[in-house]
Amino acid sequence: MTEETLQPVTVPAAAKPLRIVLADDHPVIMIGVRNMLAHENLEIVGEASDGDEAITLTLELEPDILLLDLQMPRLPGLEAMRAIMARSPGVKIILLTSAITTQQIIEALHIGARGIVLKDAVAHHLGEAIQTVAAGNYWIGGAKVVNLMAALRDLMDQVKPVERKTFGLTPREMEVVGCIVEGCGNRDIARQFGISEETVKRHLSNIFDKTGVSTRLELALFAIAHKLVLPPE
């Protein structure tokens, strides 16, 4: 009778908790969020009470997620986010706010925010928002957003028309920008304007130089944030 060879049993390792920095100047919010996240697979590795401290802690600790109050002392949330994104663009930022305008949402997304959660809905939405953003999606208006450009176009429809800045773009370049926001490829743009794809590429190169962006997504976000493309009347 042969002796059976016992095979080692592999036990899957527990998923590492997401590392969180919480930045808010309201003690009640800090306590509430801290208590709520204690029941999730999350770890708060740092807490900040103003914008400058939020920048310092985020750059030092490099968390997976930064929960950032929009209205912070010393440095507002959007300005703190600009500084963080310039030096640590891999951090996923979720804005916490009591109120926010459509234009502020567009600006926040342009800067690099991945989620926006209203404080009166924190208990219902924050846990899901964190998991959604950690998975690579966006969270806007109390729901997961997979198609960011479609969401931005919906937001753009809510913004009142204002006089546009052109950033030195020619009329044709402005038309190309509009096509990019609509999600058109180079072939579609070439066909629409009766030009070659090489000409489209030259237009895009000029547009990137003038706007300081380097990808089509960055250009679309820039265009919406700076009202280069207006919603239809």
Whether the predicted model's global pTM rises above the 0.75 cut: no
Residues whose CB falls within 8 Å of the CB of residue 133, separated by 6 or more in sequence, listed in order: 65, 92, 94, 114, 115, 139
CA distances from 138 to 157, 176, 191, 206, 211 (A): 19, 26, 32, 30, 24
Question: Which tokens is 36 given?
Answer: 């709520």
Contact 34, 42 (CB under 8 A): no
12-26 per-position pLDDT tens digit: 455 788 999 999 988
Residues whose CB falls within 8 Å of the CB of residue 212, separated by 6 or more in sequence, listed in order: 222
Structural domains in the chain plus CATH codes: 18-146 (3.40.50.2300), 149-233 (3.40.50.2300)
Considering only CA atoms, which of 1, 118, 105 is closest in space to residue 67? 118
Provide the H-helix boundaries in 112-233: 122-134, 148-156, 171-181, 186-193, 197-211, 216-225
| Helix (H), strand (E) at residue 105 | helix 102-111
- Whole-angstrom Cα distance, residue 140 to residue 144? 7
92-135 per-position pLDDT tens digit: 999 998 888 888 888 888 888 999 998 888 888 899 999 999 99
Residue 183's pLDDT is what? 86
- Whole-angstrom Cα distance, residue 182 to residue 64? 31
